[in-house]
Amino acid sequence: MAEATHHFPSDFEWGTATSAHQVEGDNSNNDWWEWEQRKNGKVHGDVSSAKACDWWAGRAEEDIQRMAELKTSTHRLSIEWSRLEPEPGQFDNAAFDRYREIIKTMRSAGITPLVTLHHFTTPIWVAAQGGWLQSDAPKTFAAFVERAVGNLSDLVDRWCTINEPNVYSTNSFFLGGWPPGKAGINDYYAALFNLLEAHARSYDIIHDQQPNAQVGLAKHMVYYHPRSISPLDGQVNRIVDRQFNGITLTALAKGRWEPLVGKKVGVDKWRNTLDWIGLNYYMRHNTFFDVSNLSGLGIGYGPRPAEEHGPGGWGEFYPDGLFECIKRLHRSLNLPIYITENGLPDERDRKRPRIMLEYIRRVWTAVMHNYPVKGYYYWSLLDNFEWAEGYDPEFRFGLYEVDFETQERTLKPSGELYGKIAESNSISSEMVRKSAPEAMDSLFPGGLGGS
Ligand code: FCB
């Protein structure tokens, strides 16, 4: 039978992603750990991240071998500020040594590290000073970055300053679901502003020490779409999109701080502070004017019930949105793009193979249209601690299943598929037939040719 194959360029990079708090275990010196111990009903099941995937105590090494077995060539990890600077200005050399050991193991396994410097967690001592709400936070963070980069620059040259400033400021400072549990528009803007400032300072500091470094930021994009052509739905869409996506893009692209309420200012030094942009994409939300939420400006959003979507408040799995977000990032920033996260919560790995193929196919389409997408990091290598969802089985993202009692790992069918994609640098009709035959028409709508 004839086969069809979508090849990627030979220098395209395949990787996986994790973050420190979600995999390391015993990260007891940051605000998330403290939040978990409060058992305040804000983490599913009131659990602690506890041992997570036990990386810090020694299991990182075996999981790095798994990255190699999947034939990936890069991995996105984060380093934990609260381990490296447990007290103001005091750095822990043993913690640096442990990261050096982990990163060296990666390099010897042929895995290029992409290191994130802030992934949602903040040291307790920083939080006690007012955390990201105080205007000194960017300076405090930049001092840590200087030390971290100084220590690791012989091993790392691809840096991500801040993971998803928009998600972090929304969940921690606007919706109150994450530490420090603040819920107000002013706090949201203050935190987001300080995170962007921290990014810009870090960019300069990294380049001062390491001129060849490639520095970026991971931008979470939700693809918002109005539910109808009603002008009210359209207006809600514009507000929600600007609040969540647009403010950060305008800040980075134009050096302009343009909140929906409050003073607009130019912050010129934010411009040209990216060598690449990371896209974290997971979902589409439909936006609509919600008469039952007039106190909240009538803002409504969510998945259409008829569309395939994730659990809880998760939106629709909408692969076309990935291509749309790539186009938008290109239009706004015109930089090399890495997909720094993409994946889905899927407890039993039933949907993951098909949806993964659909997503990767959109990445291929973008590359074939010459959009500068350079690599793809699947979230996540293995099941891990999923923030407010804790260890809820519905929120498992891994290519490897983890039994958190025994720390045993099992490769899922989607993991096997991803390994084949990475190894062959392609997606093929043979893979689709084997892993998700129901997606054949969608992925190869022109048939397989040849007959
Ligand atoms: C992203 C986070 C990551 C993980 C995935 C599912 O927003 O960056 O840590 O929680 O969602």
Mean pLDDT of 397-412: 98
CA-closest residue to ligand 1 atom 5: 379
Mutational pocket test of ligand 1: of 44, 280, 341, the residue with most ligand atoms within 8 Å of the beta carbon: 341
| Element spanning 218, H or E | strand 214-226
C-alpha radius of gyration, the chain, whole number: 21
Q: For position 75, what pLDDT does the model report?
A: 99
How does the average pLDDT of the chain come out, rounded?
Answer: 97
Please, which pLDDT band fits residue 450 given cuts at 50, 70 and 90? low
pLDDT digits (tens, 9 = 90+) for 195-219: 999 999 999 999 999 999 999 999 9
Q: For position 1, what pLDDT does the model report?
A: 60
- Measured from the Cβ of residue 350, the count of other Cβ atoms closer than 10 Å reads 11
pLDDT digits (tens, 9 = 90+) for 54-109: 999 999 999 999 999 999 999 999 999 999 999 999 999 999 999 999 999 999 99
Ligand 1 and 217: CB distance under 6 A: no
pLDDT digits (tens, 9 = 90+) for 150-182: 999 999 999 999 999 999 999 999 999 999 999
Q: For position 321, what pLDDT does the model report?
A: 98
DSSP calls for 237-279: HHHHHIIIIIHHHHHHHHSEE--SSS--EE-GGGTT--SEEEE
Contact predicate 388/311, CB 8 Å: no
How is residue 161 annotated by DSSP? E
Q: For position 296, what pLDDT does the model report?
A: 87
Instruction: State how far the Cα of 408 lies from the Cα of 54, in Å rounded to an integer.
Output: 11
Query: Does residue 451 register a pLDDT over 60?
Result: no
Question: How many angstroms separate the Cα of 282 from the Cα of each of 161, 239, 342, 381?
Answer: 21, 20, 6, 16
Ligand 1 and 164: CB distance under 6 A: yes
Ligand 1 and 220: CB distance under 6 A: yes
**Which domains does the chain show, CATH number per domain?**
16-419 (3.20.20.80)
Query: Does residue 443 register a pLDDT over 60?
Result: yes
pLDDT digits (tens, 9 = 90+) for 271-288: 999 999 999 999 999 999
CA angle 265, 266, 271 (to 5 degrees): 145
Which residues have CB under 8 Å from 66's CB, separation 6+? 381, 382, 400, 409, 411
Q: For position 41, what pLDDT does the model report?
A: 97
Contact predicate 202/161, CB 8 Å: yes
Largest separation between any pair of C-alpha atoms in the chain: 69
Mean pLDDT of 425-435: 97
Ligand 1 and 387: CB distance under 6 A: yes
Any idea which of 353-357, 429-433, 443-447 has the lowest mean pLDDT? Answer: 443-447
pLDDT digits (tens, 9 = 90+) for 225-275: 999 999 999 999 999 999 999 999 999 999 999 999 999 999 999 999 999
Query: Does residue 436 register a pLDDT over 60?
Result: yes
Query: Does residue 448 register a pLDDT over 90?
Result: no
Q: How far is the CA of 282 from the centre of ligand 1 (A)?
A: 9
Q: For position 188, what pLDDT does the model report?
A: 97
Query: Does residue 402 register a pLDDT over 80?
Result: yes
Which residues have CB under 8 Å from 218's CB, separation 6+? 116, 160, 162, 163, 164, 278, 279, 280, 340, 341
pLDDT digits (tens, 9 = 90+) for 289-321: 999 999 888 999 999 989 999 999 999 999 999
Number of C-alpha atoms within 13 angstroms, CB side, residue 145? 28
Instruction: State how far the Cα of 17 lies from the Cα of 340, in Å rounded to an integer.
Output: 7
Identify which has the larger pLDDT, 446 or 269: 269
Q: Of 280, 252, 425, 421, which is closest to residue 340 (Cα–Cα)?
A: 280
Q: For position 3, what pLDDT does the model report?
A: 84
Mutational pocket test of ligand 1: of 43, 44, 164, the residue with most ligand atoms within 8 Å of the beta carbon: 164
Ligand 1 and 163: CB distance under 6 A: yes
pLDDT digits (tens, 9 = 90+) for 333-376: 999 999 999 999 999 999 999 999 999 999 999 999 999 999 99
Ligand 1 and 379: CB distance under 6 A: yes
Helix 60-69 to helix 93-108 angle (10° resolution) is 20
List residues bridging with 6 in a β-sheet: 427
DSSP calls for 273-301: --SEEEEEEEEEEEEEE-GGGGGGTTEEE
Please, which pLDDT band fits residue 52 given cuts at 50, 70 and 90? very high
Ligand 1 and 397: CB distance under 6 A: yes
Query: Cis before residue 380, ω within 30 degrees of 0?
Result: yes
Contact predicate 370/8, CB 8 Å: no
